[in-house]
Structure 1
Amino acid sequence: MSRLILFNKPYGVLSQFTPEGRWQGLRDYLALPGVYAAGRLDADSEGLLILTDDGALQSRIADPRHKLPKTYWVQVEGAPTDADLDPLRRGVDLGDFVTRPARARLIDEPAGLWPRNPPIRFRQAIPTSWIELTISEGKNRQVRRMTAKIGFPTLRLIRAAVGEWRLDALQPGEWKESHV
């Protein structure tokens, strides 16, 4: 029976067990031998990280060829309109590649959202907004690059779901076992 772990990765934690420099590793939160991350989240991103002890499942979850949708809550600088999100829905030319069309919609701040430590930069004169963005690929810093390209830099990035698995009520640093 494969193990599948849903972990709410806090800000400042790498998607690997070994810490590096100023970043913590997963071993500071998970004492589970034999499981490995299925995909990555940058240290400055938060949210759902899936771990498993099943190599084939790990590959299926992480490999973009399987097109598992990944849903993010993105706090951006500025106040985009629904029309401002159209380029995300069509695909954005990032120079080195063009993204696949994404699902994008404006949302209120997600209910039950925990405070980030450290907090995002705050500027009195510049509003922030939330976008729910679902992509089926996951190149390095893709979501941040996409929102910057349309003129709304990412301030906070939280992965809320991967395929059928959701963050739900998990708080930063918490994990639970799920089923495949």
Structure 2
Amino acid sequence: MPHRYFILNKPYDMLSQFKGVPSMRMLGDLGIDFPEGTHPIGRLDNISEGLLILTTNKKVTRLLFQGPKTHARTYLVRVIREVSEDTLQQIRSGISIRIKGNVDYTTAPCEASIVVPPENLFAAGYSFREDLPHTWLRLSLTEGKFRQIRKMMKVIRHPVQRLIRVSIENLSLGDLRPGEIREVNEKDFFSQLNIEYSPDYQD
């Protein structure tokens, strides 16, 4: 049977999994009738939002995140206080963070810019004091250590208030509202992720 591919706008305060933590909201609580064997790829933590891939194809994780070719993941990030050009350059060049095993790790160079949040940005389900200084950033990374962006921003004293993944390569969130999904046909899915399609990807 052909595999199926979906993108979801994962809401705030929801785990990127279908079962395992009864006390928290999970993907099954969306009430969407996914086909059997559907699982998330490239998870977001529960307080992050945005683009989450779901598919019945178990090979996608290896092709997208474990192969030699890197794939850019782009985020809109709201942080506390105004970010200077010097700090932007620090983000672009790499920041030392602590990762699993209590190891110091310098993040890979990435793209970073200050942006105006898009007009169609949906409410997060929680509010901020808009009168306090803050900055919206657009960050594009080719790696994804656990809570990497949050750790990077904490090190440079601009803690994250909101984090939204808007695209992976050319596969974008578009106008999906939180909790909505869009199905993508197989060839478009691989093309937009810049993965060369092969029939061998079928189980």
SS at match of 1:97: strand
State whether structure 2 residue 92 is matched by structure 1 residue 86. Answer: no
What TM-score, normalized by structure 1, do the two folds share? 0.92
The match for 2:181 is: 175
Work out whether residues 82 and 106 of structure 1, in 8 Å CA contact, stay in contact via their aligned partners in 2: no
- 1:59 Cα deviation from its structure 2 partner: 2.4
Structure 1 segment 1-180 matched on structure 2, within 5 A: 1-18=2-19, 20-29=21-30, 30-32=32-34, 33-63=36-66, 65-95=68-98, 96-119=104-127, 121-122=128-129, 124=131, 126-179=132-185, 180=189
Distance 1:20 1:64, change over 3 A: farther
- 1:83 Cα deviation from its structure 2 partner: 2.4
SS at match of 1:94: strand
What TM-score, normalized by structure 2, do the two folds share? 0.82
The runs of 4+ residues in structure 1 deviating greater than 6 Å are none
- 1:58 Cα deviation from its structure 2 partner: 2.9
Q: How large is the RMSD of aligned CA atoms in angstroms?
A: 1.7
- 1:140 Cα deviation from its structure 2 partner: 0.8
Residues of 1 paired with 2:11 and 2:20: CA distance?
14
Residues of 2 paired with 1:56 and 1:46: CA distance?
24
Mind listing any 5+ residue stretches in structure 2 that lack a counterpart? Answer: 99-103, 190-203
Amino acid at match of 2:33: A
- 1:18 Cα deviation from its structure 2 partner: 1.5
Which of the pair has more CA radius of gyration? 2
Deviations 1:123-159 (A, max 9, x none): 74x3111000011111111001111112211000000
Residues of 2 paired with 1:118 and 1:19: CA distance?
25
